[in-house]
Amino acid sequence: MSQPPQHQDPPGQQAQMQPRPDCGEESYQGHGRLAGKKTVITGADSGIGRAVAIAYAREGADVLISYLSEHDDAAETARYVEKAGQRAVLFPGDLSSPQHCRDVVARAVEEFGRIDVLVNNAAYQMTRESLEETPDEEWDHTLATNLSAMFHLCKAALPHMGPGASIIGSSSVNSDSPNPTLAPYAATKAAIANFSASLAQLLGERGIRVNSVAPGPVWTPLIPSTMEPDKVAEFGSDTPLGRPGQPVELAPVYVLLASDEASYVSGARVAVTGGRPIL
């Protein structure tokens, strides 16, 4: 797959991308692996979050779709969840606000009664060629959205999670091999992997598993909305597999980590990178 040069304003809209990312809308087939589970997925309007929401619904889970302001994309995700016969709850707002993180959890508990799976997936990035041109506010916002939100979501959700529950963080290949033009983003992704590993040890005695997924270059709205058009055209071509990943190619890993089949998998970081090693 290749993509033409293109640009959008952040946060980006999946409907405007060429080609459209494959989130498994037509291909993902469920097998009841998450039957009855109540799930919260942040950044679920598009990209990896949408692919995970579709997969979870087709595996039998209800989904709270947390998103910033991409109402059309989020509504489309909700339609796929409901088409699978599951409940979809749309909840927009800015996760850089600690109170909004608590509100996400409160809404999920109000709708579902409990939380079985929390997927911390929403993220912000921006390409900068030097540290001097990185605004202070952008550094603060990146950390608040990517890392602090995970802390606040997990802290609020834990009283409503029981044995067998699962927390999943979206890390990145940048956690090990940071792109220098994405320094704030890369720093948060390393911290997410580290924080997930800490939580796995803290929560083991409560029977709650915590893992992270480390995607490589994946074709999502984050790319055309945060990179120069010429970089977008080359995106993912330098992987051993020679292309960016599609969001649907991440979904099975998130399903496994949320499922009871992964009952002894905790503290792991699973690489889905197109061949870029994470050791």
For 25-44, the pLDDT digits (tens) are 999 999 999 999 999 999 99
User: Is the residue at 13 inside a domain?
Assistant: no
Q: Which of 16-25, 83-92, 93-102, 260-269 has the lowest mean pLDDT?
A: 16-25
Would residue 202 count as lying in a domain? yes
* C-alpha to C-alpha distance for 178 and 24, rounded to whole angstroms: 29
128: domain CATH number is 3.40.50.720
The answer to whether residue 24 sits within a structural domain is no
pLDDT tens string 182-211 = 999 999 999 999 999 999 999 999 999 999
pLDDT of res. 236? 86
Domains in the chain: how many in total?
1
Domain assignment present for 10: no
Residue 25 lies in a domain: no
Alpha carbons 227 and 230: distance in angstroms, whole number: 8
The closest alpha carbon to 266, from 214, 189, 196, belongs to 196
Question: pLDDT over 70 for what percent of the chain?
Answer: 99
Q: Which of the residues 56, 67, 124, 185 is marked catalytic?
A: 185
- Mean pLDDT value across the chain: 94
Q: Evaluate whether residue 3 is within a structural domain.
A: no
User: Is the pLDDT confidence value at 150 over 90?
Assistant: yes
What's the domain range around 267? 32-272
**Is there a catalytic annotation at residue 28?**
no
**Residue (of 203, 208, 235) closest to 219 by Cα position:** 235
- Give the mean model confidence (pLDDT) for residues 207-221: 94
Instruction: Taking residues 111-128, report their average pLDDT.
Output: 96
Residue 96 and residue 251: Cα distance in Å, rounded?
25
Distance of CA 201 to the CA centre of its chain: 22
What average pLDDT score do residues 74-87 get? 98
This prediction has a pTM of 0.94
The two three-digit tokens of residue 182, written as one number:
């994405």
The radius of gyration of the chain's CA atoms, rounded to the nearest angstrom, is: 17
Contact 182, 222 (CB under 8 A): no
Classify residue 183: in a domain, yes or no: yes
8 pLDDT above the threshold of 80:
yes
Q: pLDDT at position 233, please?
A: 86
Q: How far apart are CA 79 and CA 130, in angstroms?
A: 42
For residue 252, tell me if it sits in a domain.
yes
